[in-house]
Amino acid sequence: MPQVVLATKNQDKLRELRRLLGGTKIKVLSLAGFPECPDVKETGKTFEANAKLKARFYSKHVGGLLALADDSGLTVNALNGRPGVYSARFACPGARFAQRSTGTGPGCTYQDNNKKLLRLLKEVPLSKRGAKFVCVVALAEGGRCVSVVRGECRGRIAFSEKGRLGFGYDPVFIPKGSIRTFAEMAPHAKARVSHRGKAMRAAKRALLVYFRRAG
């Protein structure tokens, strides 16, 4: 049976990735099944670089299985693209690498990140609050990358946090065409338009091609 390991230590991303891979015959595993697997250092300067780095790294520690890694984050126009690849550790720039899956490294929770973002954008008018979520998904086997796909979702940053669903920056991000934040949308509604939803629909196609070729 075709199998893939979702190579993320972020339980919130893991939950979304699992849901998005539903409806296939692919058996989905997580890093929980590989307790010896070390942590990776995210040293890349782009989402692509980090996604590839993570997929290659984890694929060497998952018993020869295919690893799927997601590197994602928020780029804000008024902040010249920040926090970008540093989204997980925006409020704790002292941390050299993202510490915790849940964005809860020492002194750096999702809420800390959102508060910092809203503070920096306090004086920024609606017309200049444009932002974009990006998700790059990479597949690798035995240290070799076999596919990279990207999904983006444009929108704007709200003036305050709204909603309790989702994770990370969801309470402050309003996707284009909506009046609600991601945190006010049900998981399936977010998945329809989200960066991760788009990337994973492409990744699903890449996986099916890959397994067909592998026989």
Candidates 67, 73, 92, 200; binder of ligand ITT (CB under 6 A) is 73
9 near ligand ITT (CB under 6 A): yes
- Least separation in angstroms between residue 213's CB and ligand ITT is 26
Which residue stretches of the chain are H helix?
11-20, 47-59, 110-120, 187-193, 195-214
- Least separation in angstroms between residue 212's CB and ligand ITT is 27
Report the alpha-carbon angle 185-187-189, nearest 5.
Answer: 60
Q: Which residues contact 151 (CB under 8 A, 6 or more apart)?
A: 134, 135, 136, 137, 194, 195, 196, 197, 198, 199, 200, 201, 202
Active site residue 12: no
- For ligand ITT, the closer of residues 70 and 141 by Cβ is 70
- For ligand ITT, the closer of residues 159 and 214 by Cβ is 159
**How many angstroms separate the CA atoms of 64 and 5, rounded?**
10
114 near ligand ITT (CB under 6 A): no
Task: Specify whether the CB–CB gap between 16 and 101 falls below 8 A.
Answer: no
- Least separation in angstroms between residue 177's CB and ligand ITT is 17
**How many angstroms separate the CA atoms of 69 and 85, rounded?**
14
Stretch that binds ligand ITT, among 19-27, 66-74, 124-132, 198-206 (CB under 6 A): 66-74
- For ligand ITT, the closer of residues 176 and 212 by Cβ is 176
Binding site residues, ligand ITT, CB under 6 A:
8-10, 13, 42, 54, 70-73, 87-88, 98, 101, 103, 113, 166-170, 182, 194, 196
